[in-house]
């Protein structure tokens, strides 16, 4: 197997090393391309063929539907681990033992209070503000209240920033939701597990005891694990890009949250439920919407279908579909949109348009149905995705810092006007 690739330009051959990852993925290392070829660069809109970094965090094989965090399969982690263990694994590279996990959790708990002044900021947002805009702003705002978090010059400082955001982010998530519902902005209960505490913070009513439901805890744990990392997707690349300028962790995460919001990325989970509701309200005619999705003159897309990397199936979607059936059954919830979803999936999987383009349900197709069964409002779905993705973003940001990666600064091929003379306004 060759170890170099040869590129011939204007009759001259240039050699570039071929590098190989631990799962035998191969890449042409073009670090010296521009300098050795006197200015030639590559162009690859959407980075469909471009590796932006070497990473030891997540392995994804889209052709074979494989997803592993630090070598462990997503199927095994979803079944056997809890979210905090997975967060530790992603960020620090190994599964924690009981003692390490306890210390990690205790360090997070010590950071689970946010400055009371932040309540004033939350109250200044209109109730109608989209929670993703609110949570992105609040995450960035945390920098102002924790100025030392900007210093990430040592391992200790990085660790402190990490436990701080893992402690405070769930509070911000809960408060963002509660503000919309007119509920008091309360704190959690540090005697609880990480995910249990999140649920209590979100759902505790001022006039009732919060009764923990193990099935709800398990369902949320699993959803968060399934969302925890997905290598160099749009939001993660954003976090790494912003962090590469040596901006602090919180603002890098805030930028990632904004990237996640888009309906082609994490915002798809909200869009899926709205689409399913729309189809149901329109009489449930899935064939009509299949036709719209295939019509190139119609902007409608089947939300929750297709993926940039998975061209076989999304392993997370398989687990979530099974989980949706179980959770709804366990909680005794009957959700008619589940039938619409199953109907659409069945038709799409048999339709040549979807089969030829290798379009399969992605992680977002069924996740909203579970969130809904757990009582989470539709506009909060993408925030829940961000909560799950937090450890992945942190792990990727930390890796980027520890590997001392250069500032991200792509080039371009200019296609604008050539040099021309300025024309005074009265002569235009």
Tell me which residues touch ligand ACO (CB under 6 A).
264-266, 268, 293, 301-308, 357, 359, 362-364
Write down the least CB distance from residue 362 to ligand ACO, Å: 4
Q: Which is nearer to ligand ACO, 96 or 263 (CB)?
A: 263
Write down the least CB distance from residue 282 to ligand ACO, Å: 17
Q: Which is nearer to ligand ACO, 205 or 357 (CB)?
A: 357
SS3 per residue for 182-246: CCCCCCCCCCCCHHHHHHHHHHCCCCCCCCCCHHHHHHHHHHHHHHCCCCCCHHHHHHHHHHCCC
Residue 20 phi/psi, 5° resolution?
-130, 130
- What is the sign, positive or negative, of the torsion defined by CA atoms of 111, 82, 376, 226? positive
Of 339, 206, 230, 211, residue with least CA distance to 284:
339
Q: Which is nearer to ligand ACO, 203 or 365 (CB)?
A: 365
Q: Which is nearer to ligand ACO, 136 or 149 (CB)?
A: 136
Residue 395 and residue 352: Cα distance in Å, rounded? Answer: 39
Residue 314 DSSP SS3: coil
Q: Spell out a b/e string for 216-255, using b for 16 or more CB atoms within 10 Å of the CB, else e.
A: bbbbbbbbbbbbbbbbbbbbbbbbbbbbbeebbbbbbbbb
The catalytic residue among 82, 229, 314, 364 is 364
Q: Which is nearer to ligand ACO, 204 or 265 (CB)?
A: 265
Residue given tokens 């040596």 in the structure block: 246
Q: Which is nearer to ligand ACO, 168 or 265 (CB)?
A: 265
Q: Which is nearer to ligand ACO, 78 or 363 (CB)?
A: 363
Contact of 138 with 121, CB cutoff 8 Å: yes
Write down the least CB distance from residue 234 to ligand ACO, Å: 7
The catalytic residue among 307, 325, 335, 421 is 307
Residue 399 and residue 391: Cα distance in Å, rounded? Answer: 12
Residue 135 and residue 173: Cα distance in Å, rounded? Answer: 7
- Burial bucket for residue 50 (CB in 10 Å: 0-12, 13-18, 19+): middle
Task: Judge whether 105 counts as a catalytic residue.
Answer: no
Q: Which is nearer to ligand ACO, 196 or 364 (CB)?
A: 364
Q: How many CB atoms lie under 10 A from the CB of residue 129? A: 16
Write down the least CB distance from residue 415 to ligand ACO, Å: 21
Write down the least CB distance from residue 110 to ligand ACO, Å: 32
Task: Judge whether 307 counts as a catalytic residue.
Answer: yes
Residue 255 and residue 242: Cα distance in Å, rounded? Answer: 7
Residue 232 and residue 216: Cα distance in Å, rounded? Answer: 30
Write down the least CB distance from residue 106 to ligand ACO, Å: 32
Write down the least CB distance from residue 366 to ligand ACO, Å: 12
Calculate the CA dihedral of residues 109, 115, 119, 120 and round it to 10 degrees.
-170
- Burial bucket for residue 16 (CB in 10 Å: 0-12, 13-18, 19+): middle
Residue number closest to ligand ACO, CB atom: 306
Instruction: Report the catalytic residues.
Output: 307, 364
């Amino acid at each position: 197997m060759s170890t170099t690739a040869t590129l011939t330009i204007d009759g001259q051959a240039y050699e570039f090393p071929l590098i190989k990852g631990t799962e035998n993925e191969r890449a042409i290392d073009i670090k010296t391309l521009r300098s050795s070829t006197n200015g030639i660069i590559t162009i690859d809109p959407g980075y469909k063929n471009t590796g932006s970094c070497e990473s030891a965090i997540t392995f994804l094989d889209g052709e074979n539907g494989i997803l592993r965090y630090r070598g462990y399969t997503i199927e095994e982690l979803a079944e056997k681990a809890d979210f905090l263990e997975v967060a530790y694994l992603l960020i620090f590279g190994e599964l924690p033992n009981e003692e390490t996990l306890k210390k990690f959790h205790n360090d997070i708990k010590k950071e689970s209070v946010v400055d009371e002044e932040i309540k004033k900021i939350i109250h200044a947002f209109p109730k109608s503000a989209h929670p993703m805009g609110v949570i992105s702003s609040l995450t960035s705002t945390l920098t102002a209240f924790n100025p030392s978090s900007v210093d990430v010059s040592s391992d200790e400082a990085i660790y402190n920033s990490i436990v701080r955001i893992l402690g405070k982010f769930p509070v911000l998530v809960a408060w963002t939701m509660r503000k919309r519902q007119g509920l008091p902005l309360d704190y959690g209960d540090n005697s609880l597990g990480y995910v249990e505490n999140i649920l209590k913070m979100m759902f505790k009513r001022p006039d009732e005891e919060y009764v923990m439901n193990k099935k709800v805890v398990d369902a949320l744990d699993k959803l968060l694990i399934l969302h925890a990392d997905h290598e160099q997707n749009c939001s993660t690349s954003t976090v790494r890009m912003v962090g590469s300028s040596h901006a602090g962790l919180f603002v890098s995460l805030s930028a990632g949250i904004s990237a996640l919001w888009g309906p082609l990325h994490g915002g798809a989970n909200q869009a899926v439920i709205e689409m399913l509701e729309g189809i149901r309200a329109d009489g449930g005619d899935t064939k009509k919407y299949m036709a719209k999705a295939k019509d190139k003159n119609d902007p409608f897309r089947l939300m929750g279908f297709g993926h940039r990397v998975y061209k076989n199936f999304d392993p997370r979607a398989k687990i979530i579909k099974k989980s949706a059936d179980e959770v709804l059954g366990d909680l005794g919830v009957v959700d008619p949109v589940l039938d619409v979803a199953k109907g659409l999936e069945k038709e799409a999987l048999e339709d040549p348009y979807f089969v030829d383009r290798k379009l399969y349900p992605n992680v977002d197709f069924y996740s909203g149905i579970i969130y809904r069964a757990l009582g989470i409002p539709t506009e909060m779905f993408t925030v829940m995705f961000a909560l799950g993705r937090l450890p992945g973003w942190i792990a990727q940001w930390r890796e980027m810092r520890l590997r001392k990666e250069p500032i991200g600064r792509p080039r371009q091929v200019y296609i604008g006007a050539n040099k021309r003379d300025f024309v005074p306004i009265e002569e235009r």
